[in-house]
């Protein structure tokens, strides 16, 4: 099914916290543009259909083509979100709204596919290096959950290998991190990277670090945790450093696994908020220190993707790749 360049594609990014919707269309230069961008808190609606219905009423546009990126694995045209009790189905959406074609994708598959569509200004360089042409690019990072995908050039275009890499085991490397793991294991049979580093696990990690320090836990907004960390509060500083170390350690592992000599792209809201700690030598050493394989990573560029429309753009391009 070909999509006319005159047709808008209804695109969405459905995460554990927000639903983002927009209309995607390529301009005359081939650049994918997003219009009518809308963001709705997931807690303010009962399901994705509510957000779509409101969006269609406000835009007065009835699209034929729909492409939605969601935070969860796709199976037989259906997605059960990892961090929200919603299930979304291509068939159900077609039936309810009369769309001609609906495609669902993992959110980080869409995030990964957006990378070649971005401008240089959409990235912040974290570590300089030289990307090797034709080699894979690792795209990963924490938001509400932890997403991960591998982007590879293929047959004159791009192919994204989605994954659930955020659910690998947490791998502590210091005595204090090992103590933290043991505290978490009192409650959790399996301690994942996502639990330690994502927004979903923020309060869990805060409580565990308070226990390690022997102080009472008090629920604190993430922005306040960052503020207190900058002021030198030991608990809040450890929260930021532990999470950043976990992120960069995992990215170093996956860069080796994927052979990501095309570079590493960090994404996700938590990555943006923790960037000062992620870019600090303490966390960066977790990425670089690979024993006799450290040299493999030393010249690997690391960038932070800062365009909030990236997953919407990626969803649109995945759809056009699929239907051309």
pLDDT of res. 3 = 52
pLDDT of residue 5: 44
Dump pLDDT digits (tens) for 219-254: 999 999 999 999 999 999 999 999 999 999 999 999
| Of the candidates 158, 160, 138, 151, the residue with the CA atom closest to the CA atom of residue 302 | 138
Q: What is the dihedral angle through the alpha carbons of 163, 167, 169, 172, rounded to the nearest 10 degrees?
A: 100
Strand order of the β-sheet with 123-127 is 123-127, 302-305, 264-266, 137-142, 146-154, 157-162
Beta bridge partners of 18: 41
Give 284-297 pLDDT, tens digit per residue: 999 999 999 999 99
Tell whether the model's pLDDT for residue 9 goes beyond 90.
yes
Residue with tokens 């006799």: 292
- Residues 109-121 pLDDT 10s: 999 999 999 999 9
pTM attached to this predicted model: 0.92
- Domains observed in the chain: 9-114+309-323 (3.30.420.40), 120-306 (3.40.367.20)
């Amino acid at each position: 099914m070909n999509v006319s360049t005159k047709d808008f594609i209804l695109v969405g990014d459905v995460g554990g916290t927000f639903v983002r919707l927009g209309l995607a269309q390529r301009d005359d230069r081939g650049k994918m543009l997003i219009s009518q961008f809308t963001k709705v808190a997931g807690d303010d609606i009962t399901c994705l259909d509510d957000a779509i219905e409101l969006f269609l009423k406000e835009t007065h546009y009835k699209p034929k083509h729909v492409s939605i990126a969601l935070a969860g694995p796709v199976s037989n045209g259906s997605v059960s979100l990892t961090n929200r009790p919603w299930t979304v189905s291509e068939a159900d959406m077609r039936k309810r709204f009369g769309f001609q074609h609906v495609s669902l994708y993992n959110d980080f598959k869409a995030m990964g596919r957006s990378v070649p569509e971005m401008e240089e200004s959409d990235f912040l360089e974290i570590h300089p290096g030289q990307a090797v042409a034709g080699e894979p690019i690792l795209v990963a990072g924490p938001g509400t959950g932890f997403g991960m995908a591998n982007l590879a050039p293929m047959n004159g275009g791009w192919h994204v290998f989605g994954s659930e890499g955020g659910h690998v085991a947490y791998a502590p490397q210091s005595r204090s991190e090992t103590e933290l793991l043991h505290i978490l294991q009192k409650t959790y049979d399996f301690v994942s990277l996502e639990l330690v580093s994502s927004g979903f696990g923020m309060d869990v990690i805060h409580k565990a670090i308070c226990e390690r320090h022997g102080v009472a836990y008090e629920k604190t907004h993430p922005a306040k945790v960052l503020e207190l960390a900058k002021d030198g509060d030991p608990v809040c500083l450890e929260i930021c450093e532990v999470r950043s170390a976990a992120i960069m350690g995992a990215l170093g592992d996956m860069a080796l696994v994927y052979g990501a000599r095309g570079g590493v792209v960090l994404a996700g809201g938590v990555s943006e908020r923790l960037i000062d700690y992620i870019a600090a030598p303490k966390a960066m050493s977790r990425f670089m220190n690979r024993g006799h394989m450290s040299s493999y990573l030393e010249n690997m560029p690391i960038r932070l993707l800062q365009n909030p429309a990236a997953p919407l753009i990626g969803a649109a391009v995945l759809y056009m790749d699929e239907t051309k």
